[in-house]
Amino acid sequence: MKYIPRTAAGVLCCLCAMTAQERTPPSETSRPQTFRAQAKVVQVPVIVIGKDGRNVDDLTSGDFRVLDNGVPQQVTMDDFISGLAPLSVAIAVQSSGTSKLALAKIRQVGSMIQPLVTGTKGQAAVVTFDKEITWLQDFTRDSGKISGAVKSVKAGEAGGARMFDTIAQVADRMQPRPGRRVLLLISEDRDRGSETKYQQAMEAVEREGIQVFGAHYSSYAMSWISKPEDFPDQGELNAIFFAQLARLATTNPVQAMALATGGSDFPFLRERGIEDAIQRLGSEVHSQYILSFPQRGDAAGLHKIDVSVPNRADLKIRSRRVYWAD
């Protein structure tokens, strides 16, 4: 067999590769490729809180124990000291007529999103939902566009709050986005009118690794503390009251999604309440440990994640609970 020098072999391989590429039909080379961020690596955002209620910021990757379906994993870690991946934040606001009192307060906080939550490297999008779903602003770093979109939210008809359909759309738009993914859901705690079921919406955010944070309110309770000029008419007030009665015995899907994805739910009534919710959201997303481990290739489907700090029983840990393996 004739010996081929290593450098010559390299050139030959390159030429072969180029020739093969030239033979590839244009339709194959020009077709855009979509890569899912979590195809190989699982990211697990973790918040660690001490007895004093403050975030704990002195842990290393060796302090954590992560189980994937009960199997210990070797993890790497990014934290707020070494630098975290940029955020993509979808702000979903309920805009049905029963939300009119809340919207008067929500419109005031758009300018807080970039400085407190996304930072200059992150991006945010704004979507509203009632009987219809409307994307007021796609993902952008422009603070003025984000603030303007939030400020432009208007109340629609009294009925309809397609929360689950909106969550599914957010998950679809998040699919190609790199870095960390967050959904801030500013709404009441009940879906009305979605074709998407609760479990389907939950699976959508789990598959895309989206942390859900809620800022939920009661439209009926708002009627007791709002300014007279903010009030809807009497028919809308009746709708608020009966909607609240129907909601009393139901499970809170916002809280459930926040719990499953490692997020939080921040109830509010007054304008200062929604401001506090935005501040707390910003504090949490910038105080996270991001643990990563390779996705297991031998078991497709739903995986349970358990995160603990074995040597610190005094700590409270909130983290993502599941992921889906392809």
Evaluate whether residue 19 is within a structural domain: no
Residue 237 has a pLDDT of 41
Q: Please check whether residue 222 lies inside any domain of the structure.
A: yes
- C-alpha distances (whole Å) from 200 to each of 29, 38, 103, 196, 206 are 34, 19, 28, 6, 10
Residues in the chain: 326
For the record, the structure tokens of 122 come out as 């992150």
Is 53 found in the same domain as 190? Answer: no
Question: Are 143 and 181 found together in one domain?
Answer: yes
Q: 164 with 213, same domain?
A: yes
Residues 186 and 104 in one domain: yes
Residues 187 and 118 in one domain: yes
Count of helices and strands (H, E) across the chain: 11, 13
The pLDDT of residue 82 is 56
Q: What is the pLDDT of residue 296?
A: 72
CB 208 within 8 A of CB 174: yes
Q: Are residues 95 and 68 in the same domain?
A: no
Task: Specify the number of domains making up the chain.
Answer: 2
Specify the pLDDT at position 218. 64
In the numeric block, the tokens 């393996």 are attached to 325
CA distance 174 to 326: 17
Domain match, 270 and 315 both: no
In this structure, the answer to whether residues 299 and 245 fall within a common structural domain is: no
Averaged over successive runs of 10 residues, the pLDDT of the chain (326 residues) comes to 42 39 42 46 91 88 94 85 78 90 88 93 96 97 96 87 96 92 91 93 93 78 41 44 42 83 79 82 89 82 92 90 86
Domain extent for 69: 41-83+286-325
The strands making up 71-72's β-sheet, listed across from edge to edge, are: 71-72, 65-68, 301-308, 322-325
Are 237 and 317 within one domain?
A: no
pTM for this entry: 0.75
Which H or E element spans position 49? strand 41-49
- The pLDDT assigned to 272 comes to 64
